Structure formats: structure tokens, C-alpha cells
Structure 1
Amino acid sequence: MTQRTDAHINKEFRRSLWAAVLVGIGVMAALDEIVFHQLLQWHHFFDFSTPALGILSDGLLHAFELLAVVIGVFLLLDLSQRGRLSVAWAKAGFFLGMGGFQLFDGIINHKILRLHQIRYGVDPLMYDLVWNAFAVVFLLIGAWLWRRARAAR
């Protein structure tokens, strides 16, 4: 293979990976919003204002997650229709996106920016540990799948 062909193939692998990262981010954000914001009503995306602003912030999160999923799916469909989708790289990207969103949410949104906690009225330590542990598990699965896809290349 020529160097140009290798570079082209690597570009398609990266596209599969990053399109699936978007889908993973959107799916994890949707699970968070549906389960913790709507069904359990433990918090809103931004809790430290009026209830109306909390609902508005949830709506903006929902718009973001929907856009991430739709854009990611369209990118994956485009790659698939052109015969350039790498399923192995996409699987890795999906889990990396899920774990990346969850870890960002758990560390940046919960602890650094303090936009919300997972649950109020209880000691949040166990909730934070479980939330971030799941994020690490998703990231480890994504890293393992990424290494397998890279080795198979």
C-alpha cells in the first residue's frame, strides 16, 4: 500500500470512531436526562435558580443530546453507504463517548462547576463513586475495543 492509501484508510477509521463518539455522548446524556432528571426527578442540569430555569436547562441538554445522536448517526450512515464504515472503530468510539460524557459530568459538572449533584438530601459520596466508576468502566471498554480495532488494522 502506498502512504497516501494508508493515510486515507486511517482517516476513515478516525471518522468511524468520532462519529460513534458523538452517538455515545448523546446516548449517555439522554440516559442521564431521562432517568435522573425526568423519571427520578433527582436534579436538573442547572439546579441553583428557579424551577423554570432548571427545566429550561434540561431542555437545552435534551437538544444537545438529540443533536449529538442525530449528527453521529448521519455520519455513520454516510460512512456505511460509501462502504467506509469501520464497525470495530465505531464500537470503540461509542463506549469512549459514553464514558467521556459521564466522567465529564461527574467531575466537571458535579464537583468543579457544581451545576448539580446526582441526588440531594443524602451524602453524595456513594452516588459520585458509582457514577464515576461506571464512567471508567465505559472508558476501559472503549479503550479495549480501540486497541483491538487498532491491532486488527
Structure 2
Amino acid sequence: MTEPLHRTPLIAAGLLMGAGLGGFVDGIVLHQILQWHNMLSNQLPPNTLVAAKVNMYWDGVFHAAVWVLTAIGLRVLWAASRRLDVAWSGRTLVGGLLLGWGLFNVVEGLIDHTLLGLHHVYEYTDEKLPWDMAFLAFGALLLLAGWGFIRAGRRDVRPRTAYQA
């Protein structure tokens, strides 16, 4: 009798890594390269050296947190790779990554942009809401794409053999 194959460890790894990597995309692209916002830029505009340093500090805390998420996701992926009862599927893993990134966008968009008002996607306009809604819409698209990949990955039922472990 064969043991059933599990997809949950692969999805969990993808969720954690996707949330972490999505946070890195946000932090690197929107905070550092484009400089559209910082973690506290709506509450403490970085228009003085002290305010810029405070924002830089909290951006660093944010990056440390998403690094930890990514590292935990890698650890979960490593553990999953050593299990013979995990259905190894690239589509399932990519789905988990997209789901994690989308979840990051939706949670970050709702909490930081909407509820707490710590910052907005693009601080240098009077019309912040369209930018914040586009960020949430992109997150929703990532969630849908991730869900689709995970569903497609159900057909990938290749058990691993002992020599692959």
C-alpha cells in the first residue's frame, strides 16, 4: 500500500518564501530604487536628515523581517525536499510563491497603507488612493495566479524515490 502524497509542505515553503521575496521587491524597488516611500514616510516625511535616518532604520527592520521569512521558507523547503511523501511539483511551489507574494501585498496594503496610514505606495501626489488600490489589485492578481498554479500542480503526482533524497 502506498502512502498518500502531500503538497502542504511545498505550499507552506512557497508561502513563506513568496511573502519574504515579495517584501524584498517592495523594499528594494519602491523604497530604495524608486524612493516612492519609506516605512514611516506618511507619518514622518523624510525631509530632514533625522527623519530620513529614522525611516532608513525602520526600512532596515522591515528588510530584516522579510529576510527571516525567506530564511524560514528555505528551511521548510529543505525539510520538504527530504520527505518521500511530498509530491514534488514546480507548479505547486511557484503557486505558493505567488500566493505568498500576493498575501504580502494584500496584508501590507490593508494594514500599512489603509488602516495605520504609515505610508502609501506613492507619497508624492495628492491622489494616493489610486496607487494604493493598484497595489492591492496587483496583490489580488498574484493570489489568483498562485491559486491557479497550485490547482494545476495537483496533477503533478510524481513521488520521489529513496535515491533522490
Which 10-residue stretch deviates more, 141-150 or 57-66?
A: 141-150
Deviation at 1:52, TM superposition (A): 2.5
Pairing 1:1-150 to 2, within 5 Å after superposition: 1=1, 5-6=3-4, 9-10=5-6, 13-47=7-41, 48-49=43-44, 50-83=51-84, 84=86, 86-87=88-89, 88-122=91-125, 123-150=127-154
**Counterpart-to-counterpart distance in 2, 1:108 and 1:151:** 36
Contact 2:88 2:156 in 1 (8 A): no
Secondary structure at the aligned position of 1:137 is classed as helix
Task: Write the letter of the residue equivalent to 1:86.
Answer: W
Contact 1:110 1:118 in 2 (8 A): yes
Task: Write the letter of the residue equivalent to 1:14.
Answer: T
Contact 1:79 1:85 in 2 (8 A): no
Coordinate RMSD, CA, aligned: 2.0
The number of equivalent residue pairs is: 147
Task: Write the letter of the residue equivalent to 1:102.
Answer: N
**Counterpart-to-counterpart distance in 1, 2:140 and 2:82:** 33
Report % sequence identity: 30
Specify which structure has the higher proportion of helix.
Answer: 1
**Counterpart-to-counterpart distance in 2, 1:85 and 1:54:** 43
Contact 2:12 2:76 in 1 (8 A): no
Deviation at 1:138, TM superposition (A): 0.6
Give TM-score, length-normalised by structure 1. Answer: 0.85
Give TM-score, length-normalised by structure 2. Answer: 0.79
Contact 1:42 1:118 in 2 (8 A): yes
**Counterpart-to-counterpart distance in 2, 1:38 and 1:91:** 26
Q: Which has the larger radius of gyration?
A: 2
